[in-house]
């Protein structure tokens, strides 16, 4: 009593246990005070097939705002373990993700007197069925320019154009440039104090070698 244990012996939270039992087959097993099994009930469905068909016909998918996924599970608004009835008015369809959100992540759902469902975030704020539209300024182009000016951005026709024009990579040139850099990085393991000067000298030497090598000299 008072435990939520899966068949393999894994203990889960009461919220997880209630989520799994919300829409599942159920077998009631009774124990005496010494935890000896004294009675095993018949296997029954938490939501009968006829009621499930009516539930799918009414909800047509997950009722969480903005979802509507067709692969759903039945959710008791007031769980049957707390005395909630398995009736159409106490049920709603939720997908697996949002079923977990309601049971284990603090989201809440309740049916209002007019029959609509109201979802609330974990902080208690209502979750609207349709998000409010974004505010659009009267002159969006002007507002965009002002935003760019405030950030020091200068956007023009060639801002998004890459400087690379599709030339093939010169592998030899790349190796000659990167090789002294690799040697410089290795030297930092042995002579940390001379890393900056030694690396700078190697880069300068590599640059001079490349400039003197006609193989890497651009011709017009």
Please tell me whether residue 41 adopts helix, strand or coil conformation.
coil
pLDDT attached to residue 220: 46
Write the burial class of residue 12 (CB in 10 Å: 0-12 exposed, 13-18 middle, 19+ buried).
middle
| pLDDT on residue 91 | 93
Q: What is the pLDDT of residue 194?
A: 46
| pLDDT for the residue 101 | 94
The pair of three-digit structure tokens given for residue 214, joined into one six-digit string = 């006609």
The Cα 176–Cα 178 span in angstroms is 6
Mutual angle of helices 14-22 and 96-104, in 10-degree steps: 140
Tokens coding 134: 């974004």
Contact (CB, 8 A) for 55 and 91: yes
Pairing mode, if any, of strands 126-127 and 117-120?
antiparallel
Euclidean distance between CA atoms 59 and 57, whole angstroms: 6
pLDDT, one tens digit per residue, over 177-207 is 888 766 655 554 444 444 444 545 555 555 5
8 Å CB contact between 182 and 203: no
pTM: 0.52
Q: What is the spatial distance between Cα 189 and Cα 183, in angstroms, rounded to a whole number?
A: 11
108, β-bridge pairs: 120
Q: How far apart are CA 219 and CA 110, in angstroms?
A: 76
Can you give the pLDDT of all 220 residues of the chain as single tens digits?
556 777 777 888 878 878 877 877 777 777 788 778 777 776 666 788 899 999 999 999 999 999 999 999 999 999 887 888 888 999 999 999 999 999 999 999 999 998 899 999 999 999 988 877 888 888 989 999 999 999 998 888 888 888 887 888 888 888 888 887 666 555 544 444 444 445 455 555 555 555 555 554 455 4
SS3 state at 39: strand
Residue 55, CA distances (Å) to 46, 49, 86, 95 in order:
13, 10, 11, 14
Q: Which long-range contacts (CB under 8 A, 24 or more apart) does 5-14 make?
A: 13/104
């Amino acid at each position: 009593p008072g435990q939520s244990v899966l068949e393999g012996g894994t203990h889960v939270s009461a919220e997880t246990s209630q989520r799994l039992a919300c829409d599942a087959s159920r077998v009631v097993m009774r124990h005496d005070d010494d935890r000896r099994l004294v009675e095993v009930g018949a296997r029954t469905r938490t939501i009968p097939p006829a009621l499930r068909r009516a539930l799918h016909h009414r909800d047509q998918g997950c009722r969480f705002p903005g979802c509507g996924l067709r692969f759903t599970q039945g959710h008791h608004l007031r769980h049957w373990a707390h005395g909630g009835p398995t009736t159409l008015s106490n049920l709603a369809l939720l997908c697996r993700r949002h079923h977990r959100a309601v049971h284990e992540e603090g989201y809440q759902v309740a049916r209002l007197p007019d029959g609509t469902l109201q979802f609330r975030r974990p902080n208690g704020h209502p979750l609207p069925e349709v998000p409010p539209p974004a505010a659009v300024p009267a002159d969006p182009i002007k507002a965009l320019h002002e935003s760019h000016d405030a950030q020091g951005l200068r956007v023009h026709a060639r801002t998004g154009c890459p400087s690379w024009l599709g030339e093939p990579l010169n592998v030899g040139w790349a190796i000659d440039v990167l090789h002294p850099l690799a040697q410089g990085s290795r030297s930092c393991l042995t002579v940390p104090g001379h890393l900056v000067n030694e690396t700078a000298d190697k880069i300068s030497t590599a640059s001079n070698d490349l400039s003197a090598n006609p193989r890497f000299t651009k011709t017009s």
